[in-house]
Structure 1
């Protein structure tokens, strides 16, 4: 987590000004219901959260080198921090995986309560070994112990060697996030949320059966994704540790352009063709049981949480939104044919 902390301090100034948490809950990739309420916390609480984040990521990692007790404290704090992140956001399996190495901070004694105290059990065997060691008795080393030592030392040296570029990256003012420096991908750099988006924008995909997409009377119906914000009255979801990859990608697409995310045009073609696989990634299909849409377009909106207890929340809305403009213009299967051919993609109508 040290890399994650450093990338924040070196990145967005809001981390240094202690204001990032004013935005994070609302603008994170896939908010959950807890984030809806956490977003309305007072400013001083958000500042405390940011300071606590810096403490966990920049100070606590060094507890590992300060003896057994501080190592255990490190493990407890890191796991607590990850649990808080799991509760307040849908960051897929990331936080769950981060808990795993923290378990190594707890030695046998600290984890003894997890095991049975019966005679001959694991705890009893460990106690006997500790008594013999305290009495100065040398326990016989078996062949397997020597093999394990050789493997451990060899692996430790390999990790140390592969960690050199990673450590140099941490010390570099131009630190790189989420990069591997070797083909084995054993030791990598990591960092998340080095910059925080201050406004949430969403791409809303719509379809129509109208012959003319420019007809003011055309009825455009929205596709809802499984978890990302769309329908203003739909409660934010809980999915962690599960991960809806398409919803996540739509978050990135929303603060870029469709030219930078050509896959979204590919998705539009699939929806035009009523492709079953593509539709399985969506929460709703407004054209289910009907002829497929003639046109698909995407609109760009700015989304904000409604205020708990406010007018919009009273109407059952978790979100309020304001249209920014078109994200990509109306497209149909015939018009997409050359687009697909230029990229050697199979045409949806032929899939």
Structure 2
């Protein structure tokens, strides 16, 4: 959490002027239905959200060192924070995993209400053990307990040693996000949304059966992904904690170029060949039951949430989009043979 907070204040200026949440819900990787409505929240609510984010990521982690009660407060706040993130965006299993270490903030006494009370209840047995330890009448640790303590101590020393480069990275003005510093990958650096994209762009893959891609009468049909924005009338999906990896990668590709994401040309080749595995990752193949397309192209669009109650909303649109231009030019399968050979990718044949 501290790494995520530091990368923000060292990154995008909008984290300082508290305007990042004006854009986040609309431009996050895969928005969900609630994000549509949260995006239209008043400006003061977005400022409060951004300020709360700084408090939870930069200050609350230090509650762990301020005694039992503040440690429990830390656990409650962090879990509530992650629940808010879960219901406001499809950030896959990330937030669910972040909840797990916060569970360690709650000791037996804090969780005792979840278990039966009485002479045989777990809570009373734990309290009895604690009283005996405090009075010094608890039996001496057995051999197994000694071994366990040595293992715990050794693991603690190992984690502390591996944490040195991670802590140095946190203190550095050139902080790196999401990096492993050792082959064991036990302790790593983390950071998210150091910068916020201010506009949402999408790559829309289209195919046509026309023999001439530049013909005025060529009909281009859209491929639909399972969750990422495409059809403006389609409601945003809710998939957390599940993760559609291809949809997520398409988000990155949209604000880069296809030269930086050669895999998208590989995907286009598989669609031209009507590859079953590739098509299984999509929600809609417009050429299903027909011959594969002769051409595939990538079109670049700017997307914005439609206005609630406005013209688009009454038509049932969730998104309003405007074409920016081509993302990659029309391609045929035979045009890609040399491209595939140069990268040692298997050559594809139409199914």
> TM exceeds 0.5?
yes
In 2, distance between residues paired with 1:133 and 1:341? 71
Q: Secondary structure at the match of 1:297?
A: strand
Corresponding residue number in structure 2 for 1:312: 312
> Does structure 1 residue 277 correspond to structure 2 residue 272?
no
Corresponding residue number in structure 2 for 1:143: 143
Q: Secondary structure at the match of 1:242?
A: coil
Corresponding residue number in structure 2 for 1:243: 243
Corresponding residue number in structure 2 for 1:22: 22
Q: CA RMSD in A?
A: 1.1
> Does structure 1 residue 117 correspond to structure 2 residue 117?
yes
Q: 1:259 to 1:9 in 2, by over 3 A?
A: same
Corresponding residue number in structure 2 for 1:9: 9
Where do 5+ consecutive residues of structure 1 fail to align? none
> Does structure 1 residue 230 correspond to structure 2 residue 230?
yes
Corresponding residue number in structure 1 for 2:152: 152
Following superposition, the deviation at residue 147 of structure 1 comes to: 1.0
In 2, distance between residues paired with 1:213 and 1:326? 13
Corresponding residue number in structure 2 for 1:286: 286
Corresponding residue number in structure 2 for 1:84: 84
Q: Secondary structure at the match of 1:126?
A: helix
Moved more, 244-253 or 152-161: 152-161
Following superposition, the deviation at residue 133 of structure 1 comes to: 3.2
Where do 5+ consecutive residues of structure 2 fail to align? none
Q: Secondary structure at the match of 1:248?
A: helix
Displaced runs of 4 or more, over 4 A? none
In 2, distance between residues paired with 1:195 and 1:248? 17
Alignment: residue pair count = 351
Following superposition, the deviation at residue 134 of structure 1 comes to: 4.4
Matches within 5 A, 1:192-203: 192-203=192-203
Contact map agreement 2:23 2:198 (CA 8 A) in 1: yes
Corresponding residue number in structure 1 for 2:180: 180
Contact map agreement 2:90 2:241 (CA 8 A) in 1: yes
Following superposition, the deviation at residue 15 of structure 1 comes to: 0.2
Q: Deviations over 1:161-202 (max 9, x none)?
A: 111111111111111111111110111100000000000000
Q: Secondary structure at the match of 1:109?
A: helix
Corresponding residue number in structure 2 for 1:64: 64
In 1, distance between residues paired with 2:302 and 2:65? 46
In 2, distance between residues paired with 1:118 and 1:264? 63
Q: Deviations over 1:65-121 (max 9, x none)?
A: 000000000000000000000000000000000000000111111011222225434
Following superposition, the deviation at residue 144 of structure 1 comes to: 1.6
* TM-score of the superposed pair, with normalisation by structure 2: 0.98
Q: Secondary structure at the match of 1:113?
A: helix
